Structure 1
Amino acid sequence: MSFRKRSPTSESPMFVRFDRASSPEDDGEYAMSPTSSSQSHHVTAVDYGDQTEDLEYSGAPATVGGFKLRSRKQPKRQATVYESDATCLPPIMVGRQRTLVLCFDGTGDQFDNDNSNIVNLFALLKKDDKNVQMCYYQAGIGTYATPGLQLPGMTTVVKILDDAVAWYLDRHVKEGYEFLMENYEAGDKICMFGFSRGAYTARALAGMLHKVGLIPACNLQQVPFAWQMYKDNSPMGWEMSKGFKKTFSVDVDIDFLGVFDTVASVGFFGYTLPFTASNYAIRTFRHALALDERRSRFKANYWHQPTHGQDNLGDRPEDKLKTIRHGHESREGHGTSKGYRKADRWRESGFSETDVKEVWFAGCHCDVGGGSTPNETPFTLAQVPLRWMVRECFRSNTGILFDIDALLEIGLEPENLFPEVIVPRPMPTSKLGYDFDHPDLASALSPMFDQLAIRPLWWILEFLPVKDRKQRAKDKAWYDSLLINLGRARQVPDHLEEIHVHRSVKMRMDAMGYTPKARGLHPRHIVWVD
């Protein structure tokens, strides 16, 4: 649980651990045993067994009883302070769960002179200690060289096919799956990020983990079979998945899945994979969406409520998937280590549905996911959703470790991230009512890159019929229709009571007279978020 205040003489982050005392007193105070009584420290987190509470600072860390409960009585406990790594945020706590972070880049994206937000986010991560965090990056669809193709021009042709129809989607998903197979240990927290088709890859990997589980290490020969069972939506496919998961796999959950503008379908064929639109194995889902994208092949893939049929599928097998969905997983046959229980505490606390937040941002596809501008460009629209995604990692208590210096470089002040504080909005310093030093203001007013205007060849695809898949609000059922897009903007889902729009959109509207292109953006439903 985050500590809410800090000593004004704080120099280095500290960690506090509470243990139950042998003779508890009902006075709501805690005794503390610091590692050093001669220094004042910035206490940032507490951990005392399997319980958590908010604490309020009321004295120097070396003072007995210096920590008091806000509004409840608890037995006295002993506290021990530990030093933490001052180069990363949040502080590395003793006994913390290790984090596995997987990043999947967008179509044609890799490290180059116009990096996407996936590369930029990966640059923010702490990567120097695999005992606390392991980081995996995968270049986007359409960037892979193909082993065995030595004929002149064939590699280029295959890359184009991969780009156009996600020819090697299975390879992208399976390679992420294999990383988890070889590195996951009980109690690890799994977090994923993706952009464009890389976002779909991340969601497909999460779906595969939910349906067939995670095979133990050193069983790579089973991965192709697991993939075939995952994508098989037939009744027999579900029965086979049930048996395969029970025989070979362990259950894992996804602690956080953050994606930038997921595309609606995979390639020209428009097929979908199980649990890519909703997935109870995901604790927190965050999605940054583009208000101004118009291309038919870049329709947004929104989060959907599961249909009644999907709920029934989720009940299979009854002794496994049903308990997973409703938060009472006993993990019979797979052990119940303390680390595993910690990883599923959100379920054991009564949470059974994914915490979902989809937020709209100004700009087109690459204005949200990055990659439209050279790396040296000081301000871009893509910086706004990147900062938002990092903030959501802290707000969701993911434990993902970020490099403090890297956070400062993108305009994020560590003290405003952890412990999470409410920062009062500054007094207006302009006629528009915004502070010109606000980190998102200059980015919000940056140029937009509409590919239909920049590259007219995209219009060829606008005259071809494309499948449009939607979900009815009443019964959550899916229905498909064919349409010719002709450059029409995206349709905001009409069943939403609240449409979350980032406050930077309002900045752009006030300063530039900007009008979002998305259809169905009714003002009475808009909720402005930071």
Structure 2
Amino acid sequence: MARNIVIFADGTGQRGGVLFDECRSNIYKLYRATRTAPDSGINPAEQIAFYDPGIGTLPKGIGLFGTIGQWLYNLVSQATGLGLTKNIIDGYTAIIRNAVPGDQIFLIGFSRGAYTARCIAAVLAHCGIPTRMKDGTPLRRDEASARVIAKEAVTKVYQHVSSEKDAAYRGQRDALAARFRTAYGSGDAAGPNTCPYFIGVFDTVAALSNTGSLIVTGLIGGVLLLALSAIGLALGYGFWTSASAILGASGLIALGFYLRSHVKFAVGLPGIAWWKTVHLTSFRMKFYNTQLNSNIGYARHALSIDERRKDFERVPWGKPDVWRDTGAGNPDWFEQIWFSGNHSDVGGSYPDSESRLSDISLGWMAHEAAKLPDGLKIDWSVLRLYPDPRGMQHDEMRSLAFRFAATVTREIKPQARLHDSVYERIKAGRVLHYDVERPYRPDNLRQHEQAGGLFEQQ
């Protein structure tokens, strides 16, 4: 019997289930309603769910040094996207351990977790679902064995190309993927044995690093350098001698980690000398593939109208000239809908008392996934929503971390699809924008074919 295998990838700094009363993202809320648990009505014979916390959420360490180390790691992760590859491997490992050809794969993510979900989809499109080990023996589904396979697929195959500048190496990646599929029985030379059935993402962002956190990380690094240099001076080594030694050692360590993760090469590809495969992938990770694979069953994207942080620019998805007909009576293949509010007003993570806008996008995504043929199974008694178009809208630009961050207004085409709640919010009169009640009039909707005309009517 085919099952739903559901992978949830949360956003930066998001880790649900830690505290009883916590700010939860839409990802964790939906995960709780779709997982198998004593308080859930989901049958594990029909569906299992896996939740992967966002980057920068390493659990608290033991003791003072463990706590400081955890805090520094999480800060650097949120600043640079460190740990993103691990998240992709986590998701694909869960698929290898639980899925068989014929199962339906659901991938659902928010923010950088949306990036993770789309990357896992790309890994599946290249590598499929392994059904055996390389030596032909039955597939070993324990965590360690599955993770070794997943790491090979992600780092050796998928990440052989990381940006448009690596386009010359796409043929090599195709050859690597075909070799992987043959070795693990996950497809053939023509393609993989499966593709995702559903991808649902909340506000995918382009940049995987965060300028504000990068600045904070740099300042902390500078303070640490001064402190360690002062210690060196006290020990008689001289301030500049100590500083130079620390900087040099840190630079060598950083260079080693960088080369280990960014130098790519392949050995044994037919007709290609190994030295012709050597290249250095992009330093700053950024989602570059905006196409939607036509072999994917269904896809949904919830977009934020009011997000203004440049580090949170949206990632386009799909092309107007590429469309797959799902057949009479079936839902549309692909929908991208704009919602009121900023990034987390769409993806969640604010207190429940301030989550009326994010309840709108969560309800939309949940119903879209559930209404598919053999769709997502949801225990609605666990997912109680109270959507309200007049709900509070947040503004992260008012926070200290982003007060001086670069801004950009998102472009919304005149014919873009807006959720019905957007029109209701425009018509509602005065609504709460962070700390002030005023009419909802986003500048990027003034030229919209339907919404723009409502601005002067109220």
Q: Which residue of 2 aligns with 1:482?
A: none
Distance 2:447 2:292 in 1: 23
- Answer yes or no: is the 8 Å Cα contact 1:204–1:275 preserved in 2: no
Q: Are residues 1:291 and 2:293 paired?
A: no
Instruction: Choose from 103, 106, 109 the match for 1:191.
Output: 106
Question: More displaced, 278-287 or 391-400?
Answer: 391-400
**Post-superposition shift, 1:270?**
4.5
- Provide Cα deviations, 1:94-131, integer angstroms capped at 9, x if missing partner: x6x31111111111011241111111111222524321
Q: Which residue of 1 aligns with 2:343?
A: 365
Q: Which residue of 1 aligns with 2:129?
A: 214
Structure 2 regions of 5+ residues with no counterpart?
A: 38-42, 132-138, 162-168, 188-192, 211-282, 430-438
Q: Are residues 1:451 and 2:396 paired?
A: yes
Q: Are residues 1:507 and 2:424 paired?
A: yes
Q: Whose helix proportion is higher, 1 or 2?
A: 2
Q: CA-atom RMSD, angstroms?
A: 3.4
Matched residue SS, 1:385 = helix
Matches within 5 A, 1:402-481: 402-407=378-383, 409-410=384-385, 440=387, 443-453=388-398, 455-462=399-406
Distance 1:524 1:506 in 2: 9
Instruction: Choose from 302, 313, 317 the match for 1:303.
Output: 317
Distance 2:174 2:88 in 1: 19
Q: Are residues 1:132 and 2:46 paired?
A: yes
Matched residue SS, 2:208 = coil
Distance 1:298 1:124 in 2: 28
**Post-superposition shift, 1:520?**
7.6
Q: Are residues 1:173 and 2:88 paired?
A: yes
Q: Whose strand proportion is higher, 1 or 2?
A: 1
Distance 1:195 1:114 in 2: 15
Q: Which residue of 1 aligns with 2:69?
A: 154
Distance 1:168 1:461 in 2: 23
Letter in 1 for 2:173: G
Q: Which residue of 1 aligns with 2:172?
A: 236
Identical columns (%) = 27
Q: Are residues 1:488 and 2:408 paired?
A: yes
**Post-superposition shift, 1:144?**
2.3
**Post-superposition shift, 1:400?**
1.4
Structure 1 regions of 5+ residues with no counterpart?
A: 1-94, 312-324, 328-345, 412-439, 463-486
Letter in 2 for 1:169: L
- Answer yes or no: is the 8 Å Cα contact 2:104–2:196 preserved in 1: yes
Distance 1:368 1:395 in 2: 21
Q: Which residue of 2 aligns with 1:395?
A: 371
- Answer yes or no: is the 8 Å Cα contact 2:105–2:195 preserved in 1: yes
Q: Which residue of 1 aligns with 2:444?
A: 518
- Answer yes or no: is the 8 Å Cα contact 1:104–1:138 preserved in 2: yes
**Post-superposition shift, 1:163?**
1.1
- Answer yes or no: is the 8 Å Cα contact 2:348–2:355 preserved in 1: no
Question: More displaced, 293-302 or 137-146?
Answer: 137-146
Using structure 1 for the length normalisation, give the TM-score: 0.57
Q: Are residues 1:281 and 2:295 paired?
A: yes
- Answer yes or no: is the 8 Å Cα contact 2:60–2:67 preserved in 1: no
Distance 2:447 2:78 in 1: 31
- Answer yes or no: is the 8 Å Cα contact 1:106–1:195 preserved in 2: yes
Distance 2:444 2:59 in 1: 37
- Provide Cα deviations, 1:464-512, integer angstroms capped at 9, x if missing partner: xxxxxxxxxxxxxxxxxxxxxxx231112x5xx8411011111110112
Distance 2:196 2:355 in 1: 33
Greater RCO (CA < 8 Å, at least 6 residues apart):
2
- Answer yes or no: is the 8 Å Cα contact 2:301–2:336 preserved in 1: yes
Task: Say if 1:215 and 1:146 are closer, same or farther in 2 by CA, change over 3 A.
Answer: farther
Q: Which residue of 2 aligns with 1:41?
A: none
**Post-superposition shift, 1:294?**
0.2
Q: Which residue of 2 aligns with 1:263?
A: 205
Give the paired residue count. Answer: 335
Letter in 2 for 1:224: K
Task: Say if 1:290 and 1:265 are closer, same or farther in 2 by CA, change over 3 A.
Answer: same
Matched residue SS, 1:500 = coil
Distance 1:520 1:231 in 2: 41
- Answer yes or no: is the 8 Å Cα contact 1:103–1:136 preserved in 2: yes
Q: Which residue of 2 aligns with 1:110?
A: 15
Distance 1:282 1:359 in 2: 19
Matched residue SS, 2:31 = helix
Distance 1:275 1:245 in 2: 22
Q: Which residue of 2 aligns with 1:99?
A: 4
Distance 2:320 2:172 in 1: 21
Distance 1:272 1:201 in 2: 11
